Amino acid sequence: MKRKLIIHSILFCLVELTLLFSCSSKSENNTATELSLDGSWHFFASNEIDETNVIAENNIVWDTISVPGNWDTREKYATYVGKGYYKKSFTLPENWGDKHIRLKFGAVYQTAKVWLNGEFLGTNVGGYLPFDFDITPYIHKTGTNNLVVMADNTIKRGAWWAWGGISRAVVLEANEPVSLVYQHISSVPDFDNEVVNFSITYKIENNGKSPMNVAIKSTIKGKEMLPETSLSIDAGKVEEVVVRFKRKLSDFDLWHFDTPNLYQLATDVAVDGMLQDQTVDNFGIRKFEVRGEQFYLNNSAVRMNGVNRVHDHPAYGNTEPDQLIAQDILDIKSLGCNFSRLMHAPLSENLLDFCDKNGFLLVEEIPVWGDEDPNSFPDNPLTKQWMKTMIERDFNHPSVVAWSVGNELRNPGDDWDDKALTKGQYGYVDAMLDYVAILDSTRLKTYVSITTYRKGEIGTEPYEKVDFISMNSYGNAPVLAEKTHKKFPGKPIFISEIGIGQIGPGPDGFLSEDMVEYLRELKKYPWITGVSLWSYNDYRSNYKGTPASGFREWGIVDEHRNKKKAYYQLKEIYKYWKE
């Protein structure tokens, strides 16, 4: 036992060292002072007491809880569904008196309401993406501030567990009047002309009381300082400026899943010579594209495989601690995986950072799922907000190569052979693909279908607007893929999920003979760009068909990451794909 503990400690230290040297934040803000509100908060769970009484603290007996975290990781609240109230008191640093202050949340599931010093700041709906509030008018610069957050996890999405609570960091950020909202870095190699085409979009806001003449100075660290860019911004306005330039391709090392080379763009924002903001962002130089029925990465055809991964762990919920991400992604890569749409919802920023630095390609998706999703209608402002927020947050990550607008949309009913997109779902996908093209023209776009090989036809699926077809298969995958290719020719097909029933509990859970044969047979089709097995890990669920254990046993590892027989089967299959 002692030997096992020593080995475990060594492995844990290795993971910690990997994180220390490989998982630093993608953005370092040196002048915008941050104050973390993470740690112990007061907590109260109730669906009966009116929120006004909670704000006024009438007859409230508060518990304590950690933020970030999920209340349902605690036995006391393990099955609680509804409203959870969080309360935190804090004071500002003395030197923040003249600063512009924002309150920033990494994610709160699923509907959040926020009050500061009794003032209602607003509502956010979504659960997986950041949101923030300008609290300058409401903050007490001296004395105590009281913050209350209501999180409601009543709405669940998909078959994964609706983990409730404040699942990402909470931060106060103090800025000068002028600040850099983001810098979006596009760096695409042109192999014919042997150059890299750079395009940098700077978004600047002026929260001052007068117009500002702003100077932007950027440096590609270790390479060169770029010419200064200037613009004038009126008081209370936000402006964007785009800078384009070319550099010799031979001066840069490309980002690839085998060699994930990264560069840094450091930017200073100044007004009248006075520094207002500083930001450093990582970026990679790579070109991921479709030619005919193939994926190409950096001018070479690639076929890539993966497994899906659910953001779920009995001890951590969906909070995604660094050590779990490092453990999971490195293990997934060791299987021979390098490409996946891991999950049906936006991924955590630290997971994206890790994939950038360790070479794993991703399709990101917003959580619009199934036959009864109320958000699958044309020009939905909420789904547009989710997509815009996700793309703006994740634009600089070279690991992200495509956006997906939804998963397994289909008409309701029990007859699976009759499944097709409804008129509203078609309109949703069609409009969202157009919207994605406006937000980001540098990446591919798709949606994940189970209707292409059923009743879907050209005219009932927005086939023309996707760059590649993503299809899920829980049947005879080669036959279903052939049907899809015949009806929707000329585009690559990625099997974004593949499975037959559940793998079963560990350690004896295994891939059936049919599944092994399907995975091997799919290799022979040149228009199949890869497959992704559902799933890497078992995950908590209350979806229909979930075993008495409370976990869907679809994983090649169990919920605690213990390997099953299926794990070793998949490793051999992916070796075969590489031969």
According to the CATH classification, is domain 33-95+104-155 in 2.60.120.260?
A: yes
Q: Would you say residue 329 has pLDDT above 60?
A: yes
Confidence of residue 578 (pLDDT cuts 50, 70, 90): confident
432-468 burial string, b = 16+ CB within 10 Å, else e?
A: bbebbeebbeebbbbbbbbbbbbbbeeebbbbebbbb
Averaged over 84-97, what is the pLDDT?
95
Q: Which of 10-24, 63-77, 96-110, 370-384 has the lowest mean pLDDT?
A: 10-24
Q: Would you say residue 19 has pLDDT above 70?
A: no
* Torsion (CA) 367, 368, 372, 377 in degrees, nearest 10: 150
Q: Would you say residue 22 has pLDDT above 50?
A: no
Q: Do domains 33-95+104-155 and 177-283 have the same CATH topology?
A: no
Calpha distance 337→307 (Å, rounded)? 7
pLDDT given at position 579: 77
Q: Would you say residue 345 has pLDDT above 80?
A: yes
Q: What is the pLDDT of residues 348-401, one digit of tens each?
A: 999 999 999 999 999 999 999 999 899 999 999 999 999 999 999 999 999 999
Averaged over 535-552, what is the pLDDT?
95
Q: Would you say residue 12 has pLDDT above 70?
A: no
State percent of the chain over pLDDT 70.
Answer: 94
Question: Which fold is adopted by the domain 177-283?
Answer: Immunoglobulin-like (2.60.40)
pLDDT given at position 58: 84
Calpha distance 321→323 (Å, rounded)? 6
Q: For residues 34 and 171, is the Cβ–Cβ distance under 8 A?
A: yes
Bridge partners (DSSP) of residue 125 are 111
Confidence of residue 324 (pLDDT cuts 50, 70, 90): very high
Q: What is the pLDDT of residues 265-285, one digit of tens each?
A: 999 999 999 999 999 999 999
The angle subtended at Cα 309 by Cα 308 and Cα 313, nearest 5°, is 160
Sheet holding 493-498, edge to edge: 306-307, 528-533, 493-498, 469-473, 444-449, 400-407, 361-365, 339-340
Closest of 461, 539, 567, 32 to residue 280, by C-alpha: 32
Q: Would you say residue 338 has pLDDT above 60?
A: yes
pLDDT given at position 33: 85
Domain layout of the chain by residue ranges: 33-95+104-155, 177-283, 288-578
pLDDT given at position 555: 98
Averaged over 217-242, what is the pLDDT?
96
Q: What is the pLDDT of residues 174-215, one digit of tens each?
A: 999 999 999 999 999 999 999 999 999 999 999 999 999 999
Confidence of residue 13 (pLDDT cuts 50, 70, 90): very low
349 burial class (0-12, 13-18, 19+ CB within 10 angstroms)?
buried
Mean pLDDT, the chain, as a whole number? 93
pLDDT given at position 157: 85
Confidence of residue 424 (pLDDT cuts 50, 70, 90): very high
Q: Which one has a higher pLDDT value, 135 or 23?
A: 135
Handedness of CA 130, 131, 137, 142 (dihedral sign): negative
Q: Would you say residue 59 has pLDDT above 90?
A: no
Q: Would you say residue 71 has pLDDT above 80?
A: yes
Closest of 542, 536, 544 to residue 560, by C-alpha: 536
Confidence of residue 489 (pLDDT cuts 50, 70, 90): very high
Averaged over 539-565, what is the pLDDT?
96
The three-class DSSP label of residue 150 is strand
Confidence of residue 116 (pLDDT cuts 50, 70, 90): very high
Identify whether 9 is preceded by a cis peptide bond (ω within 30 of 0). Answer: no
Instruction: Tell me the pTM.
Output: 0.94
According to the CATH classification, is domain 288-578 in 3.40.50.300?
A: no
